[in-house]
Structure 1
Amino acid sequence: MYGIEIYNIKNRHITIGTNKEKKFSLYIYHMSNQDPLEEFLNEFKEVQFSANLTGKQKCSLLKILRKNTPAFAIGEEPLGKIKGHYIKIYLNVERPYPPMLRRPPYPASLETRKEIEKHINELLDMDVIRKLGNNEIVEIITPVLITWNDGKFRFCEDFRALNNCTKADRYPILRISHALDKVAKSKYITKVDCMKGFYQNGL
């Protein structure tokens, strides 16, 4: 018995063979011609399926992915946002802020300044940050670039001084053992990695 998985996205004729001694098990999954199937498959071409899944299970999974496409960040699409919740940071100082907070930007080379500007423009395009108005003043600006081993840069902010002027937010943390007990009898465990998760929180 041979299992064959075929994704015919262009409705072409497929010839399997004429050897009648071999038996084939085919699962045919139809998708509407009106939907942009080829575009969908191109967007999810990096999806890796478990080798333990059958062709029918893979088709079912593709159907679920296709139905919930808006839940995934694909390409240059805008990031999602957490609705109805904002992170609030309370300071234990008031304006005028102490000198430790009113720091000028760190000295940077021409190459570093170009990278900082590039990352700022990317954040603007993703609607993560916005430009200041004429009457708005921001006194805490300490951008920092961290270089990875592959030569790429990561854009960060140095908020160590700000942390010293921030009121502590204390709350009980769930014990790991209790969390594991709750999922001990689960049949499936799903892990979702939010793309640029910190940027999806309103501040």
Structure 2
Amino acid sequence: MDTALSFWNNIIATCGVLKIVISHRDPEFTSEFWTNLYDIIGTKLSFSTAYHPQTGGLAKRRIQTMEDIIRRFSIRQAYNTSQNSTTGKLPSLVEKGCNPLFPVDHLKKTLLNIHSTEKDSHDMYNRECDTAARLIAKAKKYNKKRYDKTHKEPYFKEGDKVIVSTLNFNNLKGPKKRRDSFVGPFTITRLIGKNAVEVRLTEKFSEENPVFLVSLVKPYHQTGENKFPSRNKSQTP
């Protein structure tokens, strides 16, 4: 009954009596009440075929398009009018020097403080940009302090033995989930700045790039043979 009242108040009251209604086979639409109601008002009720979504494809596509439009607009406006955690300002205020006015602002009866003269607007814009730049610099300093507190750059030198990540290897065989995360050991032949090293790969990995970021390299620690006597010995790749 609720569906019938909603249909009558929102559809028929605004659009008039419909000639044809295409609906899925929900009990609310296949019931005797609905069938008799449509017969009385002269509307033909057409049901979609089971497991055939193409029946109402045009309407669904239009609804999807409208949802995409509204979603994009809503996300953009929500981001531009939300306070940024780093700058403490609204992106729209930093970009344009003022906040956009929306219908909700009229409903709340609260007007934005928009300066009337060009000089005042220009001064406000520069002031907001300076404040945002200062807060961004402060946030960078804070984030760097937190990062440096727990992060330690690995130290390597030529001749060190390391294992390297197979994350970017393209020529390994077998299922990816069963591959070794790291392979080696390999010997460092050259340091490339502070962020990369070059290693001497074996013939098995000769097709791979021998230069790796330090984040993809770990020091190799050889385990004593007497510590795990039952472990199968494998040859170095």
Q: TM-score, normalised by structure 1?
A: 0.21
Relative contact order higher in (CA < 8 Å, ≥ 6 apart): 1
User: Normalized per residue, which structure has more helix?
Assistant: 2
Q: TM-score, normalised by structure 2?
A: 0.19
Structure possessing the higher radius of gyration over alpha carbons? 2
